[in-house]
Structure 1
Amino acid sequence: MNKSTKQAKQIRLKRGEVIQLPIRRIGINGEGIGHYQKQVVFVEGAVPGEIVVARVVQVEPKFAKAQLLKVKKKSAYRVEPPCPVYRECGGCQLQHIDRRMQKRLKRELVAESFARYAGLRDVPIGETVTMDEPWSYRNKAQFPLRRVGGQVSMGMFSAASHQLVDASACMVQHPKLNEALYKAKRLVEELGVDIYDERKHRGTLRHLVGRIAFATEEIQLVLVTRTKSFPEEEAFVREVTRRLPQVKSVVLNYNPDKTSLVFGEESRLLWGNEKLIERLGELTFALSARAFFQLNPVQTVRLYDAVKRAARLTGTETVIDAYCGAGTIGLWLASGAKRVIGMDTVPEAVADAKENAKLNGIAHAEYYVGAAETLLPKWIKEGLRPDVIVVDPPRTGLGQPLLQALMRTKVPRLVYVSCNPATLAKDCAQLLKSGYRVAGIEPFDMFPQTAHVEAVCELVQT
C-alpha cells in the first residue's frame, strides 16, 4: 500500500457531511476537538463536554474541520459572549466559555503539549495564574484601515479572512485607548487622508497603532504608512493636539512592502515625546514605537515575578536576557544578579533597553543588537559562561543554533518564557536530551477570553 493510499484511508469524512460527535478537549486555537469514527475533528465554538452537530467544511490527511450547527448536549460552562462582534471578529476565541473553565483548559493545553511533543505526562505544572478583572487589560492595539465608499473603516480582521470588523469598542483593550483610536480614525476620515489598498498595493495609511501607559494613561499614536510622508501630516498633528490631550507622542512608521507585517523598519517622530514612559513595579521603562513590551501590564508583573523565582538568583550570577526587547525581564532580575547581558534584533528596542537601564540606575546591565541565535553561540565560544539564561522567544520558539548552543554549553539554569506551549514542549524535548530537567512550569492567563496561554518553564541541569 503506497503512502497516498494510506493517507486516503486515514480520513473517511466527506466535505459537506453532517456529523454528531462529543467534544473532548480544546485546541491551541480555541477550537473544540472531538473524534468521529476515530477521525480527529476540530469544531470552532464547541466546548469540551458537549455533544454537537456539525458540518464538515475541510478534510485533510490527518484531521477534519467542521462548522458548529447545533449543540445537542450543552456544557455547564457555556456562557453568552458579552462582546457584540465576538463571533465575527476573531480577536478572542473563548468568550463563550466560563472563566473557571478557561483557567482549567489553559493548564490542560500546556500539559497536553508536553505529553504529545516531549513524552512527559507527569511534568510539574502549577495552576493557571488568572486576573481578577479579565477585561480592558490590553495596552496596545494595531488596527488596519480600509476605505469603504466615503467612509474609513477600522477594526480587526475576521477569522481566516480579510473582512474588517469594527472593533472600536473592543472589550479587552483599555477603554481610553479605544476612544483615542476611534477619534484618530474620525480625524483621518475628515482630513481625507489617502487609505492603503491592500489588493492594489496603493494608497498611504495602512494601520493606526496605539499604546497606552497604564501608570499615567498617556498614549503614543503611530501611523503606519506606505509612503514616507503624507500631505495632511501637519493638519493631523495639529488636530490631535487639540482633540486628544492624552496623546503625548505621534510617530510615522514607514512600511513600503507588500506584506502582512504591520511595522516597517523606519520610524519618524511627527510630534511630542519620542518614547512612551511606563512603570512596572518599581521600574520605569521608555518605549519606542516598535519596541516589544508585554501587552498586559497587570499580569506582566506576576509573570516576571515567576521568572525571578525560577532564576533563583543569589547576587553572584551572570544572566543572559535573550530576546530582550526593551530590557524588561533582565532589568527585573538585575537586583539579584552580578551581571545582565541582553540582545535583540530591533535596534530601537536595544536603545530602549540601554536607556531603561540608565533610567533605573542599573549599571551592570549591557545590551547588544543581534539575534540570540547568533550572538549567544559566539559569546559562549569566546568563553562566556552564563549561570542563568532567560529566553522569551516568538511563537516559533528557539532557533536551532541557540538550541544547539544551550545543549552544548549546559547552562546550570534556563528559564523559558513561552507564548506557545507546543513549541515550548518541542524545544524542551531537545533540551532534555542534553541533561536538562523540567523543574516546574507555571501557566499564565496573559490574554483572558483568548486561547493563548503563556508559561514560565524552569529547566535545570541534572
Structure 2
Amino acid sequence: MENKEKKILKKGDKIQLKIAGLNTKGRAYGFYGDDENRIFPNINAAEGQIVEGIFVKRRRKYELIRCEIIDFAGRKNAIYDEIARQNGGCNYQYYSYDEQLAIKNSNIEKEVKKIAKYDFTFEEPVRSVEVEKYRNKMEFSYGNAMKDGPMILGLHKQNSFHDIVEVDGLKLMDDNFNKIYVFCNEFSKATGLDFYHRLDHIGFFRNLVIRKVDFTKQILVNMVTTTQIEDEKKLEFQKDLVEGLLALKLENGFEITGILHTFNDNFSDSVVSESEEILFGKRDLEEEILGLKFKISPYSFFQTNSKTVEKLYEKVLDYLDEIEGENIHNSIVFDLFSGTGTIGQIVSKKAKQVYGIELVEEAVEKANENAKLNGIENAHFIAGDVFEKLDEFDKNGIKPDIIILDPPRAGVGEKTLNKLLKYDVKDIIYVSCNPKTFNIDLKVLQENGYELVKIATVDMFPVTQHMEVVSRLRKIEK
C-alpha cells in the first residue's frame, strides 16, 4: 500500500476550511486534514460552511486571511455576506437565535462545571426580549478600511485593531440609530477633515456615540473629536452638524434631545471627555426600569439592552428572595461596582440599608441623584476604588450581611475578593458580564468556603459572543 505523506501547511498557502464550530470567544474555527491544530478564519462563519483563504501563523495561532465563504451551507445573512462589511461583533450572524442561545449557554455551563464540581442549579437561559435592533448605545470609530484609504465611520473589522468597516443596516441597532449613523458618516466625509491617526496623533474625528432610552423616547448624539480645528471652522462644523441631525425624520416617537461635542486629545483609544460643549438640548437621558427612574449621563455605564435588563434585575431579586435564614428587610447590602446605582436602588426596597461603591464619579453623582429622584432614603453611593473605600466602611463600623457584585469585564480581582472574604457574609450574589473572569473569581471564593447554589445566563447581547451571568453563592457551614 502506498504511503501518502501528510501535507505540511506553509505561510501563503491557499486552502479551503470546513468550519467545525465557534470557540468560547465566538471565533469560527476548523481543522485542515488530520492536523489537530485549530485554524481560525478572520471572518464570521458558522458550522458546516466552507471558507477559502490564505494560511498564516500569528501569535502562535493558525489563521486564514483574505477569506471568503464559498459554501454557505444553507445559512444566509444578506446584510453581511459581503465580507468587506463584516465586523468583529456579530460572531453569530449565521446562526438562528435558538442556536446562538444553546451554543453560548452550553459553553458557559461547561466552563463553570470545571470549577464547581458539585451539585448546583444551572437554570435555563433567559432570552433577550428582542433579538435584533436591541442596543440602546452604539459607539462608532472613525478610521479607514485599509491603510491610506479614505475616512469612514463604522466598527472594527473582525480580528483587526486598525481596520474599520461601514455598517449601514447593522442588525444590532434600530432604524433611528441607522439614520443618525448614515448622516454622520456622510457629513463627516464632506467636511474634508481627517480622522485621528493613533501613531502620529494628528487628525480631528475620533468617535460617534449614540444613546437612547425607550421610556422617554430620548436620543443623545455625542460627536467625539480632538481640538485640532480652528475656532471659526469649529463653529461652522457644529452649526451644520446640529442642523443636519435635527432635520432627520425619526420614527416611533423618538427625538434627538441632546447633541454633544466632546473633545479628547488623549492618546488612549477609549472615549474620554477632556471637555465638552452642549450644542443642543441637554446631556442627560431619563430611563425607567422596574418602576424606578434613572438619569443617565453620557459617560455613565448603563446596560445596553433596555428591555432585557429588567429580566436581569428580576433574577437578582429572585435570588435575594431565596436567601435562607436571613431577614432581608433587616440586612445591610453592599452593592459593589454599582455604576449608576441601578441594582442598589432596585434591591433597596427589600433591604434595611444599601451602600454602593463605584469608581466613576459622574456615575456616583447620578446614582445619588437618582435615589433622591425615586424617594429612596436607604441607599447611598460613594465614588472611589472598591478596595480602598471598603477601609472607610470598616472605620465607620459598616459591615454587610449580603454582598452584591457587578464588576467590569476584568472581574473583582483576588485582592478585593480577599478583603471581602473578611466580612464572612453568608450570601453573595455575583452578576458578571464576563464568564471567564467570573470563573476565576469563583475559584477564589470556593477556596475560601463558598459554594455556587444557583446560576443563570441572561442573553443581553444576541448575535454576539457575550452573555451575562447571575449567580448566588452561599458560605458552607462547618
Question: For this structure pair, what is the TM-score category when the shorter chain's length is used for normalisation?
Answer: 0.7 to 0.9
Determine the structure 2 residue equivalent to 1:160: 159
Counterpart pick for 1:124 among 121, 142, 146? 121
- Confirm whether residue 307 of structure 1 aligns to residue 305 of structure 2: no
Question: How many Å separate the matches in 2 of 1:57 and 1:151?
Answer: 27
Counterpart pick for 1:143 among 132, 140, 159? 140
Question: How many Å separate the matches in 2 of 1:147 and 1:71?
Answer: 26
Secondary structure at the residue paired with 1:423? helix
Deviation of the 1:207 alpha carbon: 1.0
Question: How many Å separate the matches in 2 of 1:273 and 1:375?
Answer: 32
Deviation of the 1:185 alpha carbon: 3.8
Question: Which blocks of at least 5 consecutive residues in structure 1 are unaligned?
Answer: 1-11
Matches within 5 A, 1:325-336: 325-336=339-350
Determine the structure 1 residue equivalent to 2:439: 425
Determine the structure 2 residue equivalent to 1:108: 106
Counterpart pick for 2:261 among 238, 252, 269? 252
Question: How many Å separate the matches in 1 of 2:428 and 2:469?
Answer: 13
- Confirm whether residue 227 of structure 1 aligns to residue 196 of structure 2: no
Determine the structure 2 residue equivalent to 1:57: 56
Counterpart pick for 1:341 among 351, 355, 379? 355
Secondary structure at the residue paired with 1:232? helix
Contact kept, 8 Å, 1:23 with 1:35, in 2: the verdict is no
**Size of the alignment, in residue pairs?**
446
- 1:234–1:30 distance in 2 versus 1, CA, 3 Å: closer
Write the letter of the residue equivalent to 2:77: P
Question: Which blocks of at least 5 consecutive residues in structure 2 are unaligned?
Answer: 1-7, 250-254
Contact kept, 8 Å, 2:434 with 2:468, in 1: the verdict is yes
Matches within 5 A, 1:234-383: 234-236=238-240, 238-240=242-244, 242-244=246-248, 246-312=255-321, 314-380=328-394, 383=397
Write the letter of the residue equivalent to 1:425: N
Query: Which range moves more in the overlay, 427-436 or 371-380?
Result: 371-380
Question: How many Å separate the matches in 1 of 2:286 and 2:77?
Answer: 34
Write the letter of the residue equivalent to 2:367: A
- Confirm whether residue 79 of structure 1 aligns to residue 88 of structure 2: no
Question: How many Å separate the matches in 2 of 1:280 and 1:193?
Answer: 41
Query: Which range moves more in the overlay, 316-325 or 369-378?
Result: 369-378
Write the letter of the residue equivalent to 1:384: I
- 1:411–1:232 distance in 2 versus 1, CA, 3 Å: farther
Question: How many Å separate the matches in 1 of 2:151 and 2:62?
Answer: 38
Determine the structure 2 residue equivalent to 1:9: none
CA-based RMSD of the aligned residues comes to 3.3
Contact kept, 8 Å, 1:25 with 1:34, in 2: the verdict is no
Contact kept, 8 Å, 2:128 with 2:458, in 1: the verdict is no
- 1:418–1:32 distance in 2 versus 1, CA, 3 Å: farther
Secondary structure at the residue paired with 1:261? coil
- Confirm whether residue 411 of structure 1 aligns to residue 409 of structure 2: no
Question: How many Å separate the matches in 2 of 1:178 and 1:446?
Answer: 20
Deviation of the 1:151 alpha carbon: 7.3
Query: Which range moves more in the overlay, 202-211 or 404-413?
Result: 404-413
Counterpart pick for 1:43 among 40, 43, 48? 40
Deviation of the 1:254 alpha carbon: 2.5
- Confirm whether residue 443 of structure 1 aligns to residue 443 of structure 2: no
Contact kept, 8 Å, 2:144 with 2:165, in 1: the verdict is no
Deviation of the 1:122 alpha carbon: 5.3
Secondary structure at the residue paired with 1:315? helix
Question: How many Å separate the matches in 2 of 1:36 and 1:422?
Answer: 31
Deviations 1:249-268 (A, max 9, x none): 12232221122212235444
Contact kept, 8 Å, 1:128 with 1:445, in 2: the verdict is yes
- 1:362–1:89 distance in 2 versus 1, CA, 3 Å: same
Query: Which range moves more in the overlay, 138-147 or 262-271?
Result: 262-271
Question: How many Å separate the matches in 2 of 1:86 and 1:108?
Answer: 30
Secondary structure at the residue paired with 2:38? strand
Secondary structure at the residue paired with 1:130? coil
Deviations 1:40-62 (A, max 9, x none): 4153445457898886532665x
Question: How many Å separate the matches in 1 of 2:64 and 2:191?
Answer: 45
Question: How many Å separate the matches in 2 of 1:145 and 1:135?
Answer: 24
Determine the structure 1 residue equivalent to 2:97: 99
Contact kept, 8 Å, 1:26 with 1:47, in 2: the verdict is no
Contact kept, 8 Å, 1:237 with 1:250, in 2: the verdict is no
Write the letter of the residue equivalent to 1:143: F
Deviation of the 1:219 alpha carbon: 0.7
- 1:289–1:46 distance in 2 versus 1, CA, 3 Å: closer
Contact kept, 8 Å, 2:414 with 2:441, in 1: the verdict is no
Please report the TM-score for the alignment, with normalisation by the length of structure 1: 0.85
Question: How many Å separate the matches in 2 of 1:380 and 1:51?
Answer: 59
Secondary structure at the residue paired with 1:336? coil
- 1:54–1:158 distance in 2 versus 1, CA, 3 Å: closer
Secondary structure at the residue paired with 1:43? strand
Write the letter of the residue equivalent to 1:138: R
Determine the structure 2 residue equivalent to 1:197: 197
Determine the structure 2 residue equivalent to 1:5: none
Counterpart pick for 1:133 among 127, 130, 135? 130
- 1:141–1:59 distance in 2 versus 1, CA, 3 Å: closer
Deviation of the 1:152 alpha carbon: 5.2
- 1:267–1:292 distance in 2 versus 1, CA, 3 Å: farther
Contact kept, 8 Å, 1:191 with 1:232, in 2: the verdict is no
Contact kept, 8 Å, 1:420 with 1:452, in 2: the verdict is yes
Question: How many Å separate the matches in 2 of 1:95 and 1:250?
Answer: 32
Determine the structure 2 residue equivalent to 1:3: none
- 1:70–1:193 distance in 2 versus 1, CA, 3 Å: closer
Contact kept, 8 Å, 2:213 with 2:219, in 1: the verdict is yes
Question: How many Å separate the matches in 1 of 2:50 and 2:237?
Answer: 55
Question: How many Å separate the matches in 1 of 2:399 and 2:277?
Answer: 39
